[in-house]
Structure 1
Amino acid sequence: MGKWPQSIELAAWAGWLLLISATARLRILIMNLSLLGIIATALVLSVTLNAEEFVFEANYDESKIPAYELPDVLAGVTTADDWVAKRVEWYDLLSREMFGMAPPESQGATQFRSAADNTLVLDGKVLLRQLIVELAGKELNLALFLPKSATEKAVPVFLGYNFNGNHTVIDDPAVLLPQSWMRSTSDHQAHEKDRGTSASRWSIEQIVDGGFGLVTLYYGDVDPDFDDGFKNGVHEQLGIPAADQAASIATWAWALSRVVDVLEKVEEVDATKVAVFGHSRLGKTSLWAGASDERIALVISNDSGCGGAALSRRRIGETVWRINDSFPHWFCGNFKKYGNHEADMPFDNHVLLALVAPRPLYVASAEADQWADPKGEFLSCLHADPVYRLLGTEGLPTDTMPAVNEPVHGQIGYHMRSGKHDVTDFDWQQYVEFATRHLSKLGPR
């Protein structure tokens, strides 16, 4: 065979050179991708290991509380008029950074209707009225337990969510069995056998004997209490909240205000004398409802703990990290950055309590409920006291934590009951007495 022409030979050599160059580049690319893969894997392993290394252990030792300084709730405030503007600043801050900003009232236009005929319960002592409230595409079932005298003269009421359905607060077939998703049953359905199972927490006879009504509804009707990315409850219509918008607690609080809208139209209820009550997570809810809606005349927090009445910086029992890890749907997305960084919070929970001022506020703890930090709850009251006094009330009548079962009743009331995380007749005895003292000053409707 003869030689190839020189031009073809040169083209062949050029092709070989290009192939060698491309192969080299491909090898470098593969090496780089492999290196990136190793780095990415290492980062994932690092994050995983760090997550595994952090094991939460609750602290109950006062000597291990980190040194802290609380934000001055009255910074820049010298007069009651100054507080008006300062209160707006604090409220907006807690809205953006902790609870989330509530939906506009226009999204909460409420319609209501009777759900059943009025009837007498508890041996004829109590009038039961049941309403269905339409809110953001959902139906809320209200049970109103009223003194019989309410048909002649409107009565003040305690308003609060229940955990397990209206049928659990009293053992009476007259209370409608809910059709909602239920939190506490294995099949998430309501059952006849559950009637009255939470009655010990409500003391309806004591409330009615004191001249008050009780208005209650199941909190899961508003927003079922589990993390599904805000796809259920009223969020189906309201939408998935942004990092500074209302999560579950703020949504429950917002719905309580919409119930107050309804109560203003109920003849048997004096809506100028609504006392909002809540236990545990619903105590956090009652505090935020009271801060958000100044129509609410009196606010009660029962064992609300972290995210409620307790000071977060103490890091006793439940902490900001722990509550956001266990219940990521309760608080807005912005609050999560303060997990294990409570010192970076530009507020603490004494500010939340101060937002209720000058209206009456009652905070209750339980001796065996150290998870909720009873001392931290009392200290929060103490540090909210200056706002109450600035506004001309007596505030908290002691600067020393009272003994167990020794209530103190000022414009701020407090007690630490013996026993566990619960609501008892003793608690209700204090709430009825406190409400009688304060709401009677408001005059008739």
Structure 2
Amino acid sequence: MTSDQAQAQMMAQLGIQAMIPGPSGDENAPNHANYDEALANPFPTLPDPLTTNAGRKVTTADQWWKLRRPEIVEGFEREVYGRVPATAPRIRWTVTATDRERIGFTPVIARRVIGHADNAAAPGITVDIRMVVVTPANAKGPVPLLILFGRDDFPAPSQPTRTEFERIDAAIKKALVAQDPGLAAIFAAHPAYPLAQEPPFRFPERDARGDLPRTDQLIAAGWGYALLDPGTIQPDSGEGLTEGVIGLSTRGQPRKPDDWGVLRAWGWGASRALDYLATDPTIDAARIGVEGVSRYGKAALVAAAFDERFAVVLVGSSGKGGATLLRRNFGEAVASLTGGEHYWMAGNFLKYGAAKADTLRNAGDLPVDSHELIALVAPRAVFLSYGIPEQGDARWLDQRGSFMAAMAAGPVFELLGVKDLGVGYDYRAAVLPPVNSGLLDGRLAWRQHDGGHTDQPNMRYFIPWADRQLGR
């Protein structure tokens, strides 16, 4: 199916005849998104994370774990991100390559690991999840590790020695002369010209702030990292809903309204990566975290919310469907997701962006909101990261809406005995902290840097903060 056909098929299941068009990200367009704070909170009262659906106040940690948390999980699974079905495939991990490399001046061991999904029930759909795992070679014990959503590239593939390059060069020239004897005279006239040569040494590259890449900083701090390719878990498109792990679970058929969407599938894939990493004796299974930026920031938060084994999460510039409030009408809207990126979410989520339906709903009717998604991670460690619009981290992401959500999640962290942001719980009066002035004293942290759509400038703050939270 095309993405439009997948959306239409789900609309038919839900009795929806038309969808609200999402606002434009172009501030000069006639249908541009709202950026007026006076209009940003049409549903100013958020669901109370410490009041059960029956109206009972939650006052103890035991009530949170046994009563309230399962209700919030159910709300997100049914209406927002979808359920992981019992037919989700088993994943078998295999190391396909191991390379001894260097990141900067630190020796590391890099492994490419492939997670093959059992496709016996749907042989026409093949899923091989790709991941590269990098750990310090000389660590004295198991190291903490951060899963980053991204391409599974080796950091610095080891190179042949000069002697080996000379052998390669001689073999290439010999093969070319065999194919074209006239090349022998050219090679003889230029005896010093190599076709294969040893690349020059390069010092690690730093950005304008002088910071090394995120992966270099992690290794230098004694962490490992894994690059997990989300596109090999589930395609980022509506057309791909009958492929990937979602397609395997539905046997290539259309989804039901509460089946998982792409964000949940990516989060589930991070959990399957954790399954493998927890078996590695060089990695500290109790100190594995997950990170992502933008749509992958949404997926990282979803992964940590649903899987309590993740010890820490770094959520970068995530926007709607991630850390910012769904009830907010500022920048990206619920209609942006129900229209353009409907496949990220459960089918049921379309109900909250319908223009014409058997029963009309809006964002204010959602049983849960993003402050409760953040609260699901408590008492584990959450670091929310944003940049500034002037550098490309657009207002569309609603930085203030995420800060409001973090404040509203605070009471759960406090109930569970850990420190939150430390700025109170009056989210309606939330004022963003100054840029480059983070709130990093608690298990829930916030920092807005003066860069763009990346969490790179915050990595130098995240690592020592995470070390403190993880007791390193």
TM-score by length of 1: 0.77
Alignment counterpart, residue 241 of structure 2, candidates 214, 230, 233: 230
Q: Which runs of 5+ in 1 are unaligned?
A: 1-46, 176-195
Aligned partners of 1:365 and 1:377 also within 8 Å:
no
Is 1:423 the counterpart of 2:412? The answer is no
Is 1:216 the counterpart of 2:197? The answer is no
Which residue in 1 is equivalent to 2:147? 159
Aligned partners of 2:263 and 2:344 also within 8 Å:
yes
Which residue in 2 is equivalent to 1:94? 76
- Letter of the aligned partner of 2:450 in structure 1? S
Which residue in 1 is equivalent to 2:100? 119
Aligned partners of 2:146 and 2:291 also within 8 Å:
yes
Percent identity between the aligned chains? 31
Which residue in 2 is equivalent to 1:383? 408
Aligned partners of 1:278 and 1:302 also within 8 Å:
yes
Which residue in 1 is equivalent to 2:371? 350
| Bigger CA radius of gyration | 1
Q: After TM superposition, give the deviation of residue 122 of structure 1 in Å.
A: 2.4
Alignment counterpart, residue 325 of structure 2, candidates 288, 294, 311: 311
Decide whether aligned partners of structure 1 residues 398 and 53 sit closer, same or farther in structure 2, where only a CA change above 3 A counts.
closer
Which residue in 2 is equivalent to 1:437? 468
How is 1:23-422 mapped onto 2 (pairs within 5 angstroms)? 56-65=31-40, 66-75=42-51, 76=56, 77-84=58-65, 85-104=67-86, 107-127=88-108, 128-136=110-118, 137-150=126-139, 152-162=140-150, 165-167=151-153, 170=155, 172-173=156-157, 202-228=213-239, 230-239=241-250, 240-339=254-353, 341-368=362-389, 369-399=394-424, 401-409=432-440, 410-422=442-454
Query: How many Å separate the matches in 2 of 1:438 and 1:51?
Result: 43
Query: How many Å separate the matches in 1 of 2:318 and 2:48?
Result: 22
Decide whether aligned partners of structure 1 residues 174 and 292 sit closer, same or farther in structure 2, where only a CA change above 3 A counts.
farther
TM-score by length of 2: 0.73
Aligned partners of 1:114 and 1:130 also within 8 Å:
yes
- What whole-Å deviation, never above 9, does each CA across 1:188-239 have from its counterpart, x for those lacking one? xxxxxxxx99x99952111111111111111101111111151222233212
- Letter of the aligned partner of 1:79 in structure 2? T
Decide whether aligned partners of structure 1 residues 174 and 141 sit closer, same or farther in structure 2, where only a CA change above 3 A counts.
farther
Q: Which shows bigger deviation, 89-98 or 220-229?
A: 220-229
SS of equivalent residue, structure 1 residue 146: strand
Query: How many Å separate the matches in 2 of 1:289 and 1:321?
Result: 23
Q: After TM superposition, give the deviation of residue 51 of structure 1 in Å.
A: 6.6
Query: How many Å separate the matches in 2 of 1:154 and 1:52?
Result: 47
Query: How many Å separate the matches in 1 of 2:322 and 2:274?
Result: 21
Higher helix share: 1
Q: Which runs of 5+ in 2 are unaligned?
A: 1-16, 25-29, 119-125, 160-203, 355-361, 425-430
Decide whether aligned partners of structure 1 residues 49 and 125 sit closer, same or farther in structure 2, where only a CA change above 3 A counts.
closer
SS of equivalent residue, structure 1 residue 278: strand
Return the structure number with greater relative CO, CA threshold 8 A, min gap 6.
2
- What whole-Å deviation, never above 9, does each CA across 1:32-64 have from its counterpart, x for those lacking one? xxxxxxxxxxxxxxx899979997421111112
Decide whether aligned partners of structure 1 residues 402 and 203 sit closer, same or farther in structure 2, where only a CA change above 3 A counts.
same
Query: How many Å separate the matches in 1 of 2:31 and 2:213?
Result: 34
Aligned partners of 2:374 and 2:409 also within 8 Å:
yes
- Letter of the aligned partner of 1:417 in structure 2? H
Aligned partners of 1:126 and 1:208 also within 8 Å:
no
How many residues in Structure 1 have an aligned counterpart in Structure 2? 368
Aligned partners of 2:104 and 2:216 also within 8 Å:
no
Q: After TM superposition, give the deviation of residue 333 of structure 1 in Å.
A: 0.7
Q: CA RMSD in A?
A: 2.7
Query: How many Å separate the matches in 2 of 1:87 and 1:52?
Result: 31
